[in-house]
Structure 1
Amino acid sequence: MSEETSEKLEIIYQDQWLVAVNKPSGLLVHRSMIDRNETRFALQIVRNQVGQHVYPLHRLDKPTSGVLLFALSPDIARLAGKQFEEGAVKKTYLAVVRGYAPESGEIDHPLKEELDKMTDRKARQNKPAQEAITTFERLATVELPLAIERYPSSRYSLVRVWPKTGRKHQIRRHMKHIAHPIIGDAKHGKGVHNRYFAEHFSAGRLLLACTEMELIHPVSNERLVLSAPLDDVFSDLMSRFGWADSLLRKSS
Protein backbone atom coordinates (compact mmCIF):
# COMPACT_ATOMS: atom_id res chain seq x y z
CA MET A 1 0.00 0.00 0.00
CA SER A 2 1.39 3.40 -0.96
CA GLU A 3 2.14 6.13 1.55
CA GLU A 4 -0.58 8.30 0.00
CA THR A 5 -3.30 5.73 0.69
CA SER A 6 -2.02 4.52 4.05
CA GLU A 7 -1.35 7.84 5.79
CA LYS A 8 -4.06 8.99 8.18
CA LEU A 9 -4.80 12.21 10.02
CA GLU A 10 -6.38 12.58 13.46
CA ILE A 11 -10.14 12.95 12.97
CA ILE A 12 -11.57 15.25 15.65
CA TYR A 13 -15.17 15.28 14.34
CA GLN A 14 -17.17 13.37 11.76
CA ASP A 15 -20.81 12.92 10.82
CA GLN A 16 -22.56 12.32 7.50
CA TRP A 17 -22.08 15.96 6.43
CA LEU A 18 -18.75 17.14 7.84
CA VAL A 19 -15.34 15.85 8.81
CA ALA A 20 -12.70 17.79 10.76
CA VAL A 21 -9.08 16.77 11.22
CA ASN A 22 -6.10 18.02 13.19
CA LYS A 23 -3.77 19.13 10.39
CA PRO A 24 -0.08 18.79 11.25
CA SER A 25 2.40 21.57 10.60
CA GLY A 26 4.11 21.19 7.23
CA LEU A 27 1.13 19.73 5.37
CA LEU A 28 -0.54 21.58 2.50
CA VAL A 29 -4.34 21.61 2.43
CA HIS A 30 -4.42 20.96 -1.33
CA ARG A 31 -2.15 20.93 -4.36
CA SER A 32 -0.56 24.29 -5.09
CA MET A 33 1.82 25.68 -7.67
CA ILE A 34 3.65 27.37 -4.80
CA ASP A 35 4.91 23.92 -3.69
CA ARG A 36 5.08 22.07 -6.99
CA ASN A 37 7.31 19.33 -5.58
CA GLU A 38 5.03 18.53 -2.65
CA THR A 39 3.30 15.16 -2.85
CA ARG A 40 1.28 15.11 0.40
CA PHE A 41 -1.99 17.03 0.77
CA ALA A 42 -4.57 17.01 3.53
CA LEU A 43 -7.43 16.88 1.02
CA GLN A 44 -6.16 13.66 -0.58
CA ILE A 45 -5.26 12.04 2.74
CA VAL A 46 -8.70 12.72 4.22
CA ARG A 47 -10.45 11.69 1.01
CA ASN A 48 -8.69 8.33 1.09
CA GLN A 49 -9.23 8.00 4.82
CA VAL A 50 -13.02 8.48 4.74
CA GLY A 51 -13.51 6.92 1.31
CA GLN A 52 -15.29 9.79 -0.40
CA HIS A 53 -14.71 13.24 -1.87
CA VAL A 54 -14.17 16.05 0.61
CA TYR A 55 -14.46 19.80 0.13
CA PRO A 56 -12.27 22.17 2.20
CA LEU A 57 -14.26 24.98 3.83
CA HIS A 58 -11.28 27.17 4.69
CA ARG A 59 -7.51 27.10 4.54
CA LEU A 60 -4.63 26.78 6.95
CA ASP A 61 -1.13 27.83 5.92
CA LYS A 62 1.22 24.90 5.32
CA PRO A 63 3.24 25.56 8.53
CA THR A 64 0.13 26.15 10.69
CA SER A 65 -1.41 23.20 12.51
CA GLY A 66 -4.86 22.59 13.94
CA VAL A 67 -8.54 22.39 13.07
CA LEU A 68 -9.22 21.82 9.38
CA LEU A 69 -12.84 21.34 8.35
CA PHE A 70 -14.19 19.66 5.22
CA ALA A 71 -17.71 19.24 3.86
CA LEU A 72 -18.69 15.86 2.47
CA SER A 73 -20.80 17.17 -0.40
CA PRO A 74 -20.96 20.27 -2.62
CA ASP A 75 -24.34 21.26 -1.14
CA ILE A 76 -23.02 21.20 2.42
CA ALA A 77 -19.91 23.04 1.25
CA ARG A 78 -22.12 25.85 -0.05
CA LEU A 79 -24.22 25.99 3.11
CA ALA A 80 -21.31 25.92 5.55
CA GLY A 81 -19.15 28.08 3.29
CA LYS A 82 -21.53 31.01 3.77
CA GLN A 83 -20.59 31.20 7.44
CA PHE A 84 -16.91 31.47 6.55
CA GLU A 85 -17.63 34.09 3.88
CA GLU A 86 -19.69 36.15 6.33
CA GLY A 87 -17.11 35.94 9.12
CA ALA A 88 -19.52 34.05 11.37
CA VAL A 89 -17.05 31.28 12.24
CA LYS A 90 -15.02 31.88 15.39
CA LYS A 91 -11.45 30.59 15.12
CA THR A 92 -9.11 30.46 18.09
CA TYR A 93 -5.34 30.18 17.68
CA LEU A 94 -2.37 29.79 20.00
CA ALA A 95 0.96 31.35 19.12
CA VAL A 96 4.39 31.80 20.69
CA VAL A 97 5.70 35.27 19.94
CA ARG A 98 8.88 37.20 20.57
CA GLY A 99 8.87 39.66 23.47
CA TYR A 100 6.31 40.42 26.16
CA ALA A 101 3.10 41.02 24.24
CA PRO A 102 0.47 43.38 25.71
CA GLU A 103 -2.05 41.72 28.04
CA SER A 104 -4.74 42.07 25.38
CA GLY A 105 -5.59 44.16 22.38
CA GLU A 106 -7.13 44.56 18.98
CA ILE A 107 -5.05 44.99 15.85
CA ASP A 108 -6.97 46.97 13.26
CA HIS A 109 -4.48 47.20 10.43
CA PRO A 110 -5.53 46.85 6.77
CA LEU A 111 -3.42 44.45 4.75
CA LYS A 112 -2.44 44.54 1.11
CA GLU A 113 -2.90 41.16 -0.54
CA GLU A 114 0.32 39.15 -0.68
CA LEU A 115 0.66 37.94 -4.27
CA ASP A 116 2.77 34.99 -5.29
CA LYS A 117 5.00 35.63 -8.33
CA MET A 118 4.06 32.32 -9.89
CA THR A 119 0.41 31.69 -9.04
CA ASP A 120 -0.81 35.30 -9.00
CA ARG A 121 0.83 36.57 -12.18
CA LYS A 122 -2.54 37.56 -13.67
CA ALA A 123 -3.93 39.05 -10.46
CA ARG A 124 -4.42 42.78 -10.10
CA GLN A 125 -1.18 44.16 -8.71
CA ASN A 126 -2.38 47.45 -7.23
CA LYS A 127 -5.41 46.44 -5.18
CA PRO A 128 -5.97 48.63 -2.10
CA ALA A 129 -5.36 47.25 1.38
CA GLN A 130 -8.27 45.25 2.81
CA GLU A 131 -9.77 45.55 6.26
CA ALA A 132 -8.06 43.17 8.69
CA ILE A 133 -8.84 42.88 12.40
CA THR A 134 -7.29 40.53 14.97
CA THR A 135 -7.88 40.41 18.71
CA PHE A 136 -5.56 38.70 21.17
CA GLU A 137 -4.78 38.09 24.83
CA ARG A 138 -1.52 37.16 26.49
CA LEU A 139 -1.71 33.93 28.48
CA ALA A 140 1.86 33.58 29.78
CA THR A 141 5.43 34.82 29.45
CA VAL A 142 8.92 33.47 29.92
CA GLU A 143 12.33 35.12 30.14
CA LEU A 144 15.34 33.04 29.16
CA PRO A 145 18.80 34.04 30.43
CA LEU A 146 20.15 34.00 26.88
CA ALA A 147 21.57 36.81 24.77
CA ILE A 148 20.07 35.74 21.46
CA GLU A 149 20.12 39.30 20.18
CA ARG A 150 21.61 42.42 21.75
CA TYR A 151 19.83 42.03 25.09
CA PRO A 152 21.22 39.92 27.97
CA SER A 153 18.00 37.89 28.12
CA SER A 154 15.27 36.85 25.70
CA ARG A 155 11.54 37.16 26.33
CA TYR A 156 8.62 35.29 24.78
CA SER A 157 4.85 35.21 25.19
CA LEU A 158 2.09 32.69 24.69
CA VAL A 159 -0.90 34.43 23.12
CA ARG A 160 -4.42 33.38 22.24
CA VAL A 161 -5.58 34.97 19.00
CA TRP A 162 -8.92 35.47 17.24
CA PRO A 163 -8.86 36.71 13.63
CA LYS A 164 -12.04 38.66 12.90
CA THR A 165 -11.29 38.72 9.19
CA GLY A 166 -9.59 36.16 6.99
CA ARG A 167 -6.75 37.77 5.11
CA LYS A 168 -3.77 35.76 3.87
CA HIS A 169 -1.18 35.33 6.65
CA GLN A 170 -3.24 37.75 8.73
CA ILE A 171 -2.17 36.59 12.20
CA ARG A 172 1.47 36.34 11.20
CA ARG A 173 1.49 39.79 9.62
CA HIS A 174 -0.47 41.42 12.43
CA MET A 175 1.78 40.04 15.16
CA LYS A 176 4.77 41.35 13.25
CA HIS A 177 3.00 44.71 12.90
CA ILE A 178 2.91 45.10 16.70
CA ALA A 179 6.57 43.97 16.95
CA HIS A 180 5.80 40.51 18.35
CA PRO A 181 6.44 38.15 15.42
CA ILE A 182 5.58 34.47 15.77
CA ILE A 183 8.48 32.13 16.46
CA GLY A 184 9.20 29.91 13.47
CA ASP A 185 7.83 32.38 10.94
CA ALA A 186 10.48 32.37 8.22
CA LYS A 187 8.87 35.20 6.26
CA HIS A 188 7.66 37.61 8.95
CA GLY A 189 9.75 36.64 11.96
CA LYS A 190 13.35 36.85 13.17
CA GLY A 191 15.71 34.16 11.89
CA VAL A 192 17.98 34.18 14.93
CA HIS A 193 15.10 33.30 17.28
CA ASN A 194 13.66 30.77 14.85
CA ARG A 195 17.02 29.00 14.63
CA TYR A 196 17.48 28.98 18.40
CA PHE A 197 14.10 27.31 18.97
CA ALA A 198 14.82 24.78 16.23
CA GLU A 199 18.30 23.91 17.49
CA HIS A 200 17.78 24.00 21.27
CA PHE A 201 14.10 23.08 21.69
CA SER A 202 13.62 20.89 18.58
CA ALA A 203 10.89 23.37 17.63
CA GLY A 204 11.57 24.00 13.97
CA ARG A 205 7.95 24.63 13.05
CA LEU A 206 5.83 27.79 12.96
CA LEU A 207 4.46 28.08 16.49
CA LEU A 208 0.91 28.87 15.42
CA ALA A 209 -1.99 26.44 15.85
CA CYS A 210 -5.74 26.69 15.29
CA THR A 211 -6.92 25.03 18.50
CA GLU A 212 -10.66 25.67 18.25
CA MET A 213 -13.34 26.50 15.72
CA GLU A 214 -16.95 27.37 16.50
CA LEU A 215 -19.77 27.46 13.96
CA ILE A 216 -23.41 26.52 13.45
CA HIS A 217 -23.91 23.07 12.00
CA PRO A 218 -25.28 23.57 8.47
CA VAL A 219 -27.91 20.81 8.88
CA SER A 220 -28.82 20.56 12.57
CA ASN A 221 -28.37 24.30 13.24
CA GLU A 222 -26.76 23.40 16.55
CA ARG A 223 -23.60 25.06 17.86
CA LEU A 224 -20.56 23.00 16.89
CA VAL A 225 -17.25 23.46 18.69
CA LEU A 226 -14.24 21.68 17.20
CA SER A 227 -11.05 21.37 19.26
CA ALA A 228 -7.61 20.16 18.18
CA PRO A 229 -4.88 19.20 20.67
CA LEU A 230 -1.39 20.63 20.32
CA ASP A 231 1.28 18.46 18.74
CA ASP A 232 4.29 17.14 20.66
CA VAL A 233 6.53 20.05 19.68
CA PHE A 234 4.08 22.65 20.93
CA SER A 235 3.18 20.61 24.02
CA ASP A 236 6.82 20.12 24.97
CA LEU A 237 7.34 23.88 24.91
CA MET A 238 4.28 24.39 27.12
CA SER A 239 5.83 22.08 29.70
CA ARG A 240 9.36 23.45 29.34
CA PHE A 241 8.22 27.05 29.86
CA GLY A 242 5.73 26.20 32.63
CA TRP A 243 2.82 27.29 30.46
CA ALA A 244 0.64 24.18 30.60
CA ASP A 245 -1.75 25.57 33.24
CA SER A 246 -2.20 28.81 31.30
CA LEU A 247 -4.03 26.87 28.58
CA LEU A 248 -6.85 26.25 31.07
CA ARG A 249 -7.49 29.97 31.35
CA LYS A 250 -10.88 30.98 29.96
CA SER A 251 -11.06 33.44 27.12
CA SER A 252 -11.72 37.01 28.17
Structure 2
Amino acid sequence: MTRPDSNREAYAAQGFELLALNEHFVLINKAAGIGFHDEVEGQNQTIRQLGLFNRVQQCLLEDKLIDQPLFPLHRLDKGTSGLLLLGRRAEVARELGEAFSQGRVQKYYLALSKHKPKKKQGAVKGGMQKARRGAWRLTSGKDNYAHSQFFSRGLGQGYRLFLWRPRTGKTHQLRVAMKSLGSPILGDALYGCQEAIENSAGFYLHAYQLAFHLAGNDYCFQCDPMSEDRAFPWLLPDSTPNGECELALEAFSRPEALSWPV
Protein backbone atom coordinates (compact mmCIF):
# COMPACT_ATOMS: atom_id res chain seq x y z
CA MET A 1 0.00 0.00 0.00
CA THR A 2 1.47 3.33 -1.08
CA ARG A 3 0.71 6.77 0.39
CA PRO A 4 2.84 9.25 -1.56
CA ASP A 5 2.93 12.71 0.03
CA SER A 6 5.39 14.52 -2.22
CA ASN A 7 2.66 16.12 -4.34
CA ARG A 8 0.20 16.81 -1.53
CA GLU A 9 -0.14 20.55 -2.20
CA ALA A 10 -0.49 20.11 -5.96
CA TYR A 11 -3.18 17.48 -5.52
CA ALA A 12 -5.01 19.58 -2.93
CA ALA A 13 -5.15 22.42 -5.46
CA GLN A 14 -6.98 19.99 -7.77
CA GLY A 15 -9.49 19.09 -5.05
CA PHE A 16 -8.21 15.80 -3.66
CA GLU A 17 -5.82 14.21 -1.20
CA LEU A 18 -4.20 10.89 -2.12
CA LEU A 19 -4.65 8.50 0.81
CA ALA A 20 -3.77 5.08 -0.56
CA LEU A 21 -2.73 3.41 -3.79
CA ASN A 22 -2.11 -0.27 -4.54
CA GLU A 23 -2.39 -2.63 -7.51
CA HIS A 24 -6.19 -2.78 -7.16
CA PHE A 25 -7.45 0.72 -6.33
CA VAL A 26 -6.79 4.37 -5.58
CA LEU A 27 -8.31 5.95 -2.48
CA ILE A 28 -8.66 9.73 -2.18
CA ASN A 29 -10.12 12.29 0.18
CA LYS A 30 -12.39 14.50 -1.95
CA ALA A 31 -12.77 18.22 -1.26
CA ALA A 32 -16.27 19.66 -1.01
CA GLY A 33 -17.39 21.79 -3.94
CA ILE A 34 -16.03 19.80 -6.88
CA GLY A 35 -18.16 17.60 -9.11
CA PHE A 36 -17.20 14.07 -10.09
CA HIS A 37 -17.75 14.60 -13.83
CA ASP A 38 -16.53 17.30 -16.22
CA GLU A 39 -18.76 20.36 -16.48
CA VAL A 40 -19.34 22.76 -19.36
CA GLU A 41 -19.39 26.44 -18.39
CA GLY A 42 -19.34 29.90 -19.92
CA GLN A 43 -21.89 32.00 -21.76
CA ASN A 44 -21.72 29.79 -24.84
CA GLN A 45 -21.12 26.57 -22.92
CA THR A 46 -17.68 26.23 -24.48
CA ILE A 47 -15.47 26.12 -21.37
CA ARG A 48 -14.90 22.61 -20.09
CA GLN A 49 -14.14 22.34 -16.37
CA LEU A 50 -12.45 19.06 -15.48
CA GLY A 51 -14.29 17.04 -12.88
CA LEU A 52 -12.65 15.22 -10.00
CA PHE A 53 -12.37 11.86 -11.78
CA ASN A 54 -10.36 13.28 -14.67
CA ARG A 55 -8.30 15.50 -12.39
CA VAL A 56 -7.20 12.53 -10.29
CA GLN A 57 -6.53 10.40 -13.34
CA GLN A 58 -4.52 13.14 -15.07
CA CYS A 59 -2.40 13.90 -12.00
CA LEU A 60 -1.55 10.29 -11.25
CA LEU A 61 -0.75 9.50 -14.88
CA GLU A 62 1.54 12.54 -15.14
CA ASP A 63 3.32 11.53 -11.94
CA LYS A 64 3.62 7.92 -13.18
CA LEU A 65 1.81 6.56 -10.14
CA ILE A 66 -0.56 4.73 -12.48
CA ASP A 67 0.03 3.54 -16.05
CA GLN A 68 -3.53 3.24 -17.39
CA PRO A 69 -6.92 4.96 -16.98
CA LEU A 70 -8.93 4.47 -13.80
CA PHE A 71 -12.45 3.10 -13.36
CA PRO A 72 -15.18 4.92 -11.41
CA LEU A 73 -16.77 2.77 -8.69
CA HIS A 74 -19.09 5.13 -6.80
CA ARG A 75 -19.72 8.87 -6.52
CA LEU A 76 -20.17 11.65 -3.99
CA ASP A 77 -22.34 14.74 -4.41
CA LYS A 78 -20.51 17.89 -5.46
CA GLY A 79 -20.94 19.42 -2.01
CA THR A 80 -19.87 16.28 -0.12
CA SER A 81 -16.30 15.60 0.98
CA GLY A 82 -14.49 12.44 2.00
CA LEU A 83 -13.47 8.96 0.96
CA LEU A 84 -13.77 8.03 -2.70
CA LEU A 85 -12.54 4.80 -4.24
CA LEU A 86 -11.38 4.36 -7.86
CA GLY A 87 -10.52 1.04 -9.52
CA ARG A 88 -7.27 0.35 -11.36
CA ARG A 89 -8.35 -2.66 -13.44
CA ALA A 90 -11.54 -3.76 -15.16
CA GLU A 91 -11.93 -6.91 -13.07
CA VAL A 92 -11.55 -4.89 -9.86
CA ALA A 93 -14.12 -2.40 -11.13
CA ARG A 94 -16.59 -5.24 -11.77
CA GLU A 95 -16.05 -6.84 -8.36
CA LEU A 96 -16.21 -3.63 -6.36
CA GLY A 97 -18.99 -2.21 -8.51
CA GLU A 98 -21.11 -5.25 -7.65
CA ALA A 99 -20.15 -4.94 -3.98
CA PHE A 100 -21.31 -1.31 -3.91
CA SER A 101 -24.58 -2.07 -5.73
CA GLN A 102 -25.34 -5.05 -3.48
CA GLY A 103 -24.61 -3.19 -0.24
CA ARG A 104 -21.52 -5.24 0.64
CA VAL A 105 -19.38 -2.11 1.04
CA GLN A 106 -19.88 -0.66 4.51
CA LYS A 107 -20.21 3.14 4.24
CA TYR A 108 -20.44 5.64 7.08
CA TYR A 109 -20.84 9.42 6.89
CA LEU A 110 -20.51 12.34 9.28
CA ALA A 111 -22.77 15.38 9.03
CA LEU A 112 -23.07 18.61 10.96
CA SER A 113 -26.23 20.59 11.66
CA LYS A 114 -27.26 23.55 13.80
CA HIS A 115 -30.86 22.43 14.16
CA LYS A 116 -32.11 20.09 16.87
CA PRO A 117 -33.42 16.83 15.33
CA LYS A 118 -36.84 15.35 16.02
CA LYS A 119 -35.01 12.38 17.53
CA LYS A 120 -31.38 11.93 18.55
CA GLN A 121 -30.92 8.48 17.00
CA GLY A 122 -32.92 6.03 14.94
CA ALA A 123 -33.70 5.31 11.32
CA VAL A 124 -35.20 7.24 8.42
CA LYS A 125 -37.12 5.16 5.89
CA GLY A 126 -39.38 5.87 2.95
CA GLY A 127 -39.70 6.37 -0.76
CA MET A 128 -37.70 8.99 -2.63
CA GLN A 129 -39.49 11.24 -5.11
CA LYS A 130 -38.20 14.09 -7.26
CA ALA A 131 -39.18 17.56 -6.06
CA ARG A 132 -38.42 21.06 -7.38
CA ARG A 133 -35.06 22.61 -8.30
CA GLY A 134 -33.25 19.29 -8.50
CA ALA A 135 -34.15 18.29 -4.96
CA TRP A 136 -35.75 15.06 -3.71
CA ARG A 137 -38.30 14.45 -0.98
CA LEU A 138 -39.18 11.59 1.32
CA THR A 139 -42.55 9.87 0.91
CA SER A 140 -44.45 7.29 2.94
CA GLY A 141 -44.39 4.86 0.02
CA LYS A 142 -41.96 2.14 -1.04
CA ASP A 143 -41.06 3.39 -4.53
CA ASN A 144 -37.33 4.17 -4.80
CA TYR A 145 -37.04 3.05 -1.17
CA ALA A 146 -34.32 4.57 1.03
CA HIS A 147 -33.21 3.39 4.47
CA SER A 148 -30.67 5.20 6.66
CA GLN A 149 -29.64 4.73 10.30
CA PHE A 150 -28.05 7.37 12.52
CA PHE A 151 -26.69 8.48 15.87
CA SER A 152 -26.07 12.08 16.93
CA ARG A 153 -24.25 13.98 19.66
CA GLY A 154 -24.36 17.61 20.72
CA LEU A 155 -21.18 19.67 20.31
CA GLY A 156 -22.27 22.80 22.13
CA GLN A 157 -23.28 26.21 20.74
CA GLY A 158 -26.26 24.54 19.06
CA TYR A 159 -24.18 22.27 16.81
CA ARG A 160 -24.85 18.54 16.51
CA LEU A 161 -22.72 15.86 14.87
CA PHE A 162 -24.47 12.99 13.09
CA LEU A 163 -23.07 9.58 12.20
CA TRP A 164 -24.97 7.98 9.32
CA ARG A 165 -25.09 4.46 7.93
CA PRO A 166 -27.00 4.40 4.62
CA ARG A 167 -28.44 0.94 3.95
CA THR A 168 -29.45 1.90 0.40
CA GLY A 169 -27.76 4.18 -2.12
CA LYS A 170 -30.30 6.68 -3.40
CA THR A 171 -29.58 10.14 -4.78
CA HIS A 172 -29.40 12.76 -1.99
CA GLN A 173 -30.49 10.09 0.49
CA LEU A 174 -28.75 11.49 3.58
CA ARG A 175 -29.49 15.11 2.71
CA VAL A 176 -33.21 14.29 2.47
CA ALA A 177 -33.04 12.25 5.69
CA MET A 178 -31.49 15.17 7.56
CA LYS A 179 -34.17 17.54 6.31
CA SER A 180 -36.89 15.09 7.36
CA LEU A 181 -35.49 15.19 10.91
CA GLY A 182 -35.71 18.98 10.95
CA SER A 183 -31.90 19.19 10.93
CA PRO A 184 -30.71 20.16 7.45
CA ILE A 185 -26.99 19.76 6.89
CA LEU A 186 -25.04 22.93 7.63
CA GLY A 187 -24.48 24.71 4.33
CA ASP A 188 -27.04 22.68 2.37
CA ALA A 189 -29.29 25.46 1.09
CA LEU A 190 -31.13 23.14 -1.31
CA TYR A 191 -32.55 21.29 1.67
CA GLY A 192 -33.39 24.22 3.90
CA CYS A 193 -30.24 25.34 5.70
CA GLN A 194 -30.20 29.13 5.95
CA GLU A 195 -26.99 29.65 7.97
CA ALA A 196 -24.04 31.20 6.15
CA ILE A 197 -20.83 29.19 6.41
CA GLU A 198 -17.17 29.81 5.59
CA ASN A 199 -16.92 26.67 3.47
CA SER A 200 -19.31 28.06 0.86
CA ALA A 201 -18.13 25.61 -1.82
CA GLY A 202 -19.91 22.71 -0.18
CA PHE A 203 -21.76 21.55 2.90
CA TYR A 204 -20.90 19.58 6.02
CA LEU A 205 -21.44 16.00 4.84
CA HIS A 206 -18.37 13.77 4.79
CA ALA A 207 -17.77 10.17 3.66
CA TYR A 208 -16.07 9.05 6.87
CA GLN A 209 -15.37 5.33 6.62
CA LEU A 210 -15.29 2.64 3.93
CA ALA A 211 -14.87 -1.08 4.57
CA PHE A 212 -14.88 -3.83 1.95
CA HIS A 213 -13.44 -7.22 0.97
CA LEU A 214 -11.33 -7.55 -2.17
CA ALA A 215 -8.95 -10.17 -3.56
CA GLY A 216 -8.87 -12.12 -0.30
CA ASN A 217 -8.21 -9.08 1.88
CA ASP A 218 -10.36 -6.97 4.19
CA TYR A 219 -9.88 -3.22 3.97
CA CYS A 220 -11.12 -0.48 6.27
CA PHE A 221 -10.31 3.21 5.78
CA GLN A 222 -11.34 6.19 7.90
CA CYS A 223 -10.89 9.90 7.23
CA ASP A 224 -11.53 12.36 10.08
CA PRO A 225 -12.83 15.67 8.64
CA MET A 226 -11.91 17.56 11.82
CA SER A 227 -8.23 16.58 11.80
CA GLU A 228 -5.82 19.38 10.94
CA ASP A 229 -3.63 16.74 9.30
CA ARG A 230 -6.20 16.34 6.54
CA ALA A 231 -5.99 18.47 3.40
CA PHE A 232 -9.53 19.87 3.75
CA PRO A 233 -10.46 20.01 7.46
CA TRP A 234 -13.88 21.19 8.51
CA LEU A 235 -13.75 24.79 9.69
CA LEU A 236 -15.77 24.91 12.91
CA PRO A 237 -16.49 28.12 14.83
CA ASP A 238 -13.92 28.98 17.50
CA SER A 239 -16.73 28.87 20.06
CA THR A 240 -17.33 25.14 19.48
CA PRO A 241 -15.90 23.27 22.51
CA ASN A 242 -12.94 21.13 21.39
CA GLY A 243 -13.61 18.65 24.17
CA GLU A 244 -17.12 17.95 22.95
CA CYS A 245 -15.88 17.42 19.38
CA GLU A 246 -13.25 14.97 20.61
CA LEU A 247 -15.79 13.04 22.69
CA ALA A 248 -18.18 12.83 19.75
CA LEU A 249 -15.50 11.58 17.39
CA GLU A 250 -14.30 9.07 19.98
CA ALA A 251 -17.85 7.74 20.31
CA PHE A 252 -18.05 7.40 16.52
CA SER A 253 -14.51 6.07 15.99
CA ARG A 254 -15.64 2.46 15.41
CA PRO A 255 -18.99 2.74 13.66
CA GLU A 256 -19.00 -0.92 12.62
CA ALA A 257 -19.06 -1.94 16.32
CA LEU A 258 -22.09 0.16 17.29
CA SER A 259 -25.52 -1.33 17.91
CA TRP A 260 -27.36 0.39 15.07
CA PRO A 261 -31.04 1.29 15.54
CA VAL A 262 -33.47 -0.51 13.27
TM range (shorter): 0.7 to 0.9
Q: Equivalents in 2 of 1:39, 1:185: separation in Å?
A: 23
Pairing 1:148-227 to 2, within 5 Å after superposition: 155-191=158-194, 193=195, 195=196, 198=197, 202-204=198-200, 205-217=202-214, 219=215, 221-227=216-222
Q: Deviations over 1:131-188 (max 9, x none)?
A: 1001110132323xxxxxxxxxxx3311111111000000001110121111111211
Pairing 1:12-161 to 2, within 5 Å after superposition: 12-32=19-39, 39-51=49-61, 52-101=68-117, 102-113=119-130, 129-143=143-157, 155-161=158-164
Secondary structure of the structure 1 residue equivalent to 2:178: helix
Report how far residue 249 of structure 1 moved: 1.3
Does the CA-based 8 Å contact 1:27-1:40 persist in structure 2?
no
Distance 1:99 1:246, change over 3 A: same
Q: Deviations over 1:107-146 (max 9, x none)?
A: 11211256988xxxxxxxxxx8311001110132323xxx
| Corresponding residue number in structure 1 for 2:251 | 249
Report how far residue 21 of structure 1 moved: 0.4
Does the CA-based 8 Å contact 2:39-2:51 persist in structure 1?
no
* Greater strand proportion: 2
Q: Deviations over 1:52-82 (max 9, x none)?
A: 3111110100010000100012221111101
Point out the more displaced range, 238-247 or 47-56: 238-247
Identity score, percent: 24
| TM-score, reference length from structure 2 | 0.74
* Cα-Cα RMSD: 2.8
Report how far residue 100 of structure 1 moved: 2.4
Pick 1 or 2: higher relative contact order, CA cutoff 8 A, min separation 6. 1
Secondary structure of the structure 2 residue equivalent to 1:133: strand
Report how far residue 106 of structure 1 moved: 0.6
> Unpaired runs of 5+ in structure 1?
118-127, 144-154
Distance 1:42 1:107, change over 3 A: same
Report how far residue 97 of structure 1 moved: 1.6
Distance 1:14 1:130, change over 3 A: same
| Corresponding residue number in structure 1 for 2:139 | none
Distance 1:32 1:239, change over 3 A: same
| TM-score, reference length from structure 1 | 0.77
Point out the more displaced range, 10-19 or 42-51: 42-51
Residue-pair matches, total: 219
| Corresponding residue number in structure 1 for 2:236 | 237
The list of structure 1 runs, each at least 4 consecutive aligned residues, that deviate by more than 3 angstroms after superposition, is 32-38, 113-117, 231-236
Q: Equivalents in 1 of 2:38, 2:210: separation in Å?
A: 24
